[in-house]
Amino acid sequence: MSHEGFSYAAPWWLPGGNAQTLWAALASRRHFGPSPTWTRQRWNTPDDDFIDVDQARHASASKAPLLVLFHGLEGSSASQYAVAFADFAAANGLAFAVPHFRGCSGELNRAPRAYHSGDFEEIDWILRRFALEHPGRALIAAGVSLGGNALMRWAAEMGESASQRVRAVAAICSPLDLAAGGHAIGQGFNRLVYTRMFLASMVPKALKKLEQHPGLFDREALLAARNLYEFDNLFTAPLHGFRDTPDYWSRASAKPVLHQIRVPALALNALNDPFVPASSLPTPQQVGRHVTLWQPGQGGHVGFPVSHGAVGLPGHVRAMPDAVGHWLLQHI
């Protein structure tokens, strides 16, 4: 197991995974350069739906690599990690794009489906399209949380042929064992804060989906859902071809198939991530030689805030994109 690639130390005034997670999301500095601006393209999907893809407007050479970032649950190009990665890309002359999973760009998608943690067919279609549109650029891809699990599932499914699409992939704070992550987020403080936050976004979107497609699921049962297990059982699992939540969490998890990956892959997980129990993380014996594991003791869930300036405030989150981005660039 490799720790040396990202020697992260949390600021002394942010002890614990929850503080590091929440500060990074709510109060951290995301960019050193200008705030990123985006050009949005709408891509029609093979099943007559659409996704919205945001491409950063900063300059990059025509042959510079393209970094594609897949966001996490209910994330977008406005998420703090997406802004920080855009800043890294601008500073290093890379083209940068954030494809939104269906329904995450601010406009509800048309089809009777949304997105899920094992959506590797969607990842495949998106990466193929990027490769077609940017034939002169080397492609590298990173995924955060849900997006990272889906990206690793894709790399495992593709095996040797993944290298025809990308040079390297990275998963950041991904619940590679979805059952362990799903149960962790449904308990105690996590349930009070994070579960409530996710459901506050996911339930209204699901109800709009029901207006689009009457009879898709039981409205009253969904309104009664109090955790992600219950939500996934009623909505995510049946809409995406899974029997129920246990079937979804089992078949969509990347951890059991990480050994099938044949392209350089990085899995970064903080040991104090409140969503991802350290006991559930993969070991070197489980992943094979193509996968690098970075498992620092601190960082929280997509946190990794760093002290900045003489006083150590307000803190920034560029260190993690720098470390992950430079690791990816080593494989071009």
Block residue for tokens 């149960």:
183
CB neighbours (10 Å) of residue 94? 25
Dihedral Cα 278, 283, 288, 293, nearest 10 deg: 50
Q: Which of 28, 77, 145, 253 is catalytic?
A: 145
| Residue 301 annotated among the catalytic residues of the structure | yes
| Residue 273 annotated among the catalytic residues of the structure | yes
Q: Which of 31, 58, 301, 316 is catalytic?
A: 301
Could you give the 3-state DSSP secondary structure of residue 267?
Answer: strand
Q: Which residues of 261-293 are buried (b: 16+ CB within 10 A; e: fewer)?
A: bbbbbbbbbbebbbbbeeebbbeeeebeebbbb
Q: Which of 54, 273, 290, 308 is catalytic?
A: 273
Q: Do residues 313 and 19 lie in contact, with contact meaning Cβ atoms separated by under 8 Å?
A: no
Cis ω before 256 (30° cut-off from 0): no
Backbone angles phi, psi at 176, to 5 degrees: -70, -20
| Residue 280 annotated among the catalytic residues of the structure | no
Could you list the active site residues?
Answer: 145, 273, 301
